[in-house]
Amino acid sequence: MWVLFAFGSAIFAGMTAILSKSGIKNTDSNVATAIRTVVVCLFSWLMVFLVGSQDSIGSISNKTLVFLILSGLATGASWLFYFKALQLGTVNKVTPIDKSSTILTMILAIIFLGESITTIKVIAIILIGAGTYLMLQKKESGKVADKIEGQNNRWILYAVLSAIFASLTSILGKIGIEGVESNLGTAIRTIVVLIMAWVIVFVTRKQHMVRQIDGRSWIFLILSGFATGGSWLCYYRALQDGLASVVVPIDKLSILITIIFSYVFLKESLTKKALLGLALIVGGTLSLLLK
């Protein structure tokens, strides 16, 4: 059953990237992240009360609480960097870097969680790494968007930092939800992300920008928040019962959904080399489901 939740997480996550990209076109990325987190937090706690897990808050151990908080901080950092990268770069280039966190997560799971290293996992790491590299190769194009992106490569740094913190999120989250119901664990982590996101907004004195957000951006940001909430609930439910080194790669299959949506709705195309890279990433991820 946890495999199905992992795939559900991938579908919602794939939708999140496109909705977020549309929502932050005319909005500061930190402000957008903070607004989205409000929606995710409300959605997460609604699920907690629907399943009745709020009664178990008092039984959460200090160790579990610490790791949930650390996981939330890592998630907040990953989000801030990811959406900044999305604002500066194209979806079909930012997403592969972010999803490369799969490799680091698998390595960390083997080192810190004691998960076994197998031939299939090694092959998967090689395929995903090679696929990511191919997807990042520049395409020859005269489009204005490509020229602008070429002049401003800061998105690469933000995307790499997003991947690093995303991998830490998975490991810390795996440890943190071992002693708590998954929906409740997700909701607690979301509060941490919410506080962190709004602290960043007020520290950078951008809270006044909330009033400047247009109606269209509000709609996409709210939809993005719901998609993220759905992804999180599925992801941590899968992580609670399954292996982190398998759940995380399945979740990263969201790249396939994201790329398809970016082509259909954002008109971002891929070169043949990038398509080969995408195939390698998907192939490497699916190989992890083999016994």
Residues 159-199 pLDDT 10s: 999 999 999 988 888 888 777 888 898 899 999 999 999 99
Residue numbers of the domain that contains 269: 2-287
pLDDT recorded at residue 38: 95
Number of folded domains that form the chain: 1
Q: Which stretches in the chain have pLDDT values below 70? A: 137-152, 291
pLDDT recorded at residue 291: 58
On whether the pTM is more than 0.75, the answer is: yes
pLDDT recorded at residue 142: 47
Q: In whole angstroms, give the CA distance from residue 79 to residue 13.
A: 12
pLDDT recorded at residue 151: 46
